Amino acid sequence: MPKNLKMTARNVSVSYGSKLAINDVSIDVDQDEVTAFIGPSGCGKSTFLRTLNRMNDTVASAKVTGDIKLDGHDIYAPDMDVVQLRARVGMVFQKPNPFPKSIYENVAYGPRIHGLAGAKSDLDRIVEKSLRRAGLWDEVKDRLTDSGTALSGGQQQRLCIARAIAVDPEVILMDEPCSALDPIATAKIEELIHELRGRYAIVIVTHNMQQAARVSQKTAFFHLGTLVEYGNTSDIFTNPHEERTKDYITGRYG
C-alpha cells in the first residue's frame, strides 16, 4: 500500500437526497503516484473524486459522511477554508473550460486572486512556468493575448491544466480529461500526466481502461457506489482478484 500518503479517505459515503451514490469507500492517494478511478457509468467514481476537493458542496442535496484527510487534516473540518482547499487540490474537467479571456489571463487569474504574485514580473514568471509544465508554452508564447477559447480542444485542455497548476496545488484531480480530445491530443495529455507525476499527486477518472493502464500506478475499480478493488495497476490489469473487476476489465460486464 502507498508509502507516502497525500490523501486518505475512510468510510466515505455520499448521498444525493435519499439516493446513496457512494457507500463506505476507503482509499489512499499516494503523493508520488497517479491513481486512476475506473468503472461503468453511474458507479460513483466522479462523485467520489469530487469529494476530494469538496466540489459536492455546490450540490445542495449532496451529503458526505466519513473521513477525508489531506496531509492528515480533515478537509471537511469546520475550520477548513474551502477556497484554499481547492487551490491545494485542483481540478481539471471533462470538457476544456477556459475562461473567455486571454491565454495569459486564464493562467494568471488563480495566482492573482490567491495573492501568489505581487509584481507583474512574478505573475509573468508563474504564467510561463505553468504553461511550460503543461507543455503548452512553445505553442502559445507568441500569442498570449489571444483568447483561450480560440485554441484547439487539446490545447484548451492543457491550458486548463496550466491554470490548475498555476496556483501551485498539491493534488490534481482530473475528471475524464481526454474524453473530448482526439488521440494525438490525448497522448499529449497522457505524456503530461507522466511529466507531472511526482510533483503533484494525481487522481484521474477515466472511462478508457487502456488510459488507466497507461498513466496510473494505482487503479481503483468502482461499481454501484462501492469500491470493488484497489491495487497496483499492473495487478489489476493482469490478475484482478474480484470477479466483478475481472468481468469489467475483460469486457464481460453486465
Partner 1 sequence: MNSHTVKAFDNDIGRLRGLISQMGGLAEEAIAKAMQALTRNDLELADQVRAEDKRIDALEAEVERLAVQIIALRAPMAVDLREVVAALKIAGLVERIGDYAKNIAKRLPMIDGEHRIEPISILPAMGRMASDMVRQVLDAFAARDAEAAVRVCESDSALDDFYDSIFRTLVTFMVENPKTISQVAHLLFVAKNLERVGDHATNVAEMVYFAATGTQMTDRDRGGPQE
Given the rule CB under 8 A, which of 5-13, 45-53, 123-131, 246-254 is the region that contacts partner 1? 246-254
- By the rule CB under 8 A, 250 interacts with partner 1: yes
Report phi then psi at 70, rounded to 5.
Answer: -115, 120
Q: CB-side exposure of 51: number of CA atoms within 13 Å?
A: 31
Number of residues that bind partner 1 (CB under 8 A): 16
- Name which of 100 and 254 has its Cβ closer to partner 1: 254
- By the rule CB under 8 A, 210 interacts with partner 1: yes
- Name which of 101 and 207 has its Cβ closer to partner 1: 207
- By the rule CB under 8 A, 238 interacts with partner 1: yes
Pairing of strands 89-92, 171-175: parallel
- Name which of 68 and 236 has its Cβ closer to partner 1: 236
Kindly tell me which residue out of 29, 186, 209, 225 binds partner 1, with binding defined by CB under 8 A: 209
Binding-residue pattern over the window 160 to 199 for partner 1, x denoting contact by CB under 8 A: ----------------------------------------
* Segment (H or E) for 69: strand 62-70
Fill in the DSSP letter of residue 197.
B
- Name which of 48 and 237 has its Cβ closer to partner 1: 237
133 φψ region: left (φ > 0), alpha (ψ -120 to 50), beta (else): alpha
- Name which of 125 and 252 has its Cβ closer to partner 1: 252
Nearest in space to 208 (alpha carbons), one of 232, 235, 184, 177 = 177
- By the rule CB under 8 A, 247 interacts with partner 1: yes
Burial 122-152 (b: 16+ CB within 10 A, else e): ebeebbbbbbebbbbbebbeeebeeebeebe
Kindly tell me which residue out of 72, 115, 183, 254 binds partner 1, with binding defined by CB under 8 A: 254
Given the rule CB under 8 A, which of 53-61, 97-105, 157-165, 238-246 is the region that contacts partner 1? 238-246
What are the distances in angstroms from CA 222 to CA 6, 24, 78, 214, 245?
Answer: 21, 12, 29, 18, 9
Kindly tell me which residue out of 10, 59, 146, 253 binds partner 1, with binding defined by CB under 8 A: 253
- Name which of 104 and 237 has its Cβ closer to partner 1: 237
187 φψ region: left (φ > 0), alpha (ψ -120 to 50), beta (else): alpha
- By the rule CB under 8 A, 246 interacts with partner 1: yes
Report residue 232 as a C-alpha cell. 497496483
* Closest approach of partner 1 to the CB of residue 235, in Å: 9
d(CA 71, CA 64): 19
Residues engaged in binding partner 1 (CB under 8 A) = 209-210, 213, 237-240, 245-247, 249-254
